[in-house]
Structure 1
Amino acid sequence: MTQRPFRILGIQQIAIGGASRDPLRRLWVDMLGLRLAGEFRSERENVEEDIAVLGEGPHQVEVDLMQPIDPARSPRVDQPALNHVGLWVDDLPVAVAWLQAQGVRMAPGGIRKGASGHDITFLHPKASEEFPIAGAGVLIELVQAPPDVIAALGGGTTPA
């Protein structure tokens, strides 16, 4: 394996789904004290979400509280309830190219703007014959870290 030409810097978000956002908001915002920072809706992705946050600045982590717009349509953002984990990466295009070259299966859609305005892409939760490495059942989002996050979390050198 060649040296990894990018760094994973930290957790950007966790995304949790339910049939309704109301019980999620009651737990994460009302009971645990996370702050609501916004909302997101996408007909294409069949999702309505509250964006709750923990921490500040480059150390802030989103907890996306999601429900499907139409429970009869796919994707079902509430199945599984822990929908995905988002990771900050210092160079998304380089990471995607290197991961694919190593046999990692990427989800359809390529690199695109995410709900928070950052470029994102996903590692597929299931491997295939062509791409034998995947998320082992977990959807993993890679999120291009902005310069302030790279400066705050990116110390050290690129890992081997």
Structure 2
Amino acid sequence: MSTRPFRILGLQQVAIGGADKAPLRKLWVDLLGLTPSGTYRSERENVDEDIVVAGAGPFRVEVDLMQPVDPNGRPRVHDPALNHLGLWVDDLRAAVTWLEGQGVRFAPGGIRKGAAGFDVTFIHPKGNEQFPLGGEGVLIELVQAPTEVISAFEVLAKAQGAA
């Protein structure tokens, strides 16, 4: 195994789906107090989502509250309810190239702009014959971290090394 040419910096998002996002919004916004940040809708991705956030600055974490545009369509963004986890990565293209070389299967679509405007790609939940490694049942979104996030994590890493 060659040296990993990228770092996973932290959690960028958790995506939760339901047949109707209103109950999700009641829990996450009204009761738990997360802050609404935006919306995203894509017929192609079969998703209508509210984006809410916890935390601030480079350490904020999105919680995407998703419902399907078409309940019978695909992908089924509401099944399972915990749809996917998003991870900040410092070099998305290097990560994809290296992980594919290690046998990791990616979902169709390649690297593209995600709902929050960052480049993203998804590790498929299951491996196949050509790429035997997947997310072990979990859809994993890799998200290109912006400079602000990379710098903040570097400051923390240096501080921990000095402690």
TM-score interval for Structure 1 and Structure 2 normalised by the shorter chain: over 0.9
Which contiguous aligned blocks of 4+ residues in structure 1 show a shift greater than 6 angstroms?
A: none
Contact 1:66 1:77 in 2 (8 A): yes
Deviations 1:91-145 (A, max 9, x none): 0000000000000001100000000000000000011111111100000000000
Unpaired segments of 5 or more residues in structure 2?
Answer: 159-163
Where does residue 126 of structure 2 map in the other structure?
A: 126
Report matched runs for 1:140-159 at 5 Å: 140-154=140-154, 156=157
Where does residue 16 of structure 1 map in the other structure?
A: 16
Question: Is it true that 1:82 corresponds to 2:110 in the alignment?
Answer: no
Q: TM-score, normalised by structure 1?
A: 0.96
Q: Distance in 2 between matches of 1:99 and 1:125?
A: 14
Report matched runs for 1:7-156 at 5 Å: 7-154=7-154, 156=157
Counterpart amino acid of 2:141? E
SS in 2 for 1:104: coil
Q: Distance in 2 between matches of 1:117 and 1:127?
A: 28
Q: Distance in 2 between matches of 1:67 and 1:11?
A: 22
TM-aligned CA deviation for residue 61 of structure 1: 0.2
Structure number with the higher helix fraction is 2
Query: What percentage of residue pairs aligned between the two structures are identical?
Result: 68
Q: Distance in 1 between matches of 2:4 and 2:144?
A: 16
Contact 1:9 1:154 in 2 (8 A): no
Q: Distance in 2 between matches of 1:33 and 1:126?
A: 34
Counterpart amino acid of 1:40? Y
Q: Distance in 1 between matches of 2:14 and 2:154?
A: 20
Q: Distance in 1 between matches of 2:105 and 2:154?
A: 25
Unpaired segments of 5 or more residues in structure 1?
Answer: none
Counterpart amino acid of 2:32? L
TM-aligned CA deviation for residue 154 of structure 1: 3.5
Where does residue 161 of structure 2 map in the other structure?
A: none
SS in 2 for 1:37: strand
Deviations 1:46-88 (A, max 9, x none): 1000000000110000000000011011111000100000000
Total equivalences in the alignment: 157
Q: Distance in 2 between matches of 1:33 and 1:72?
A: 31
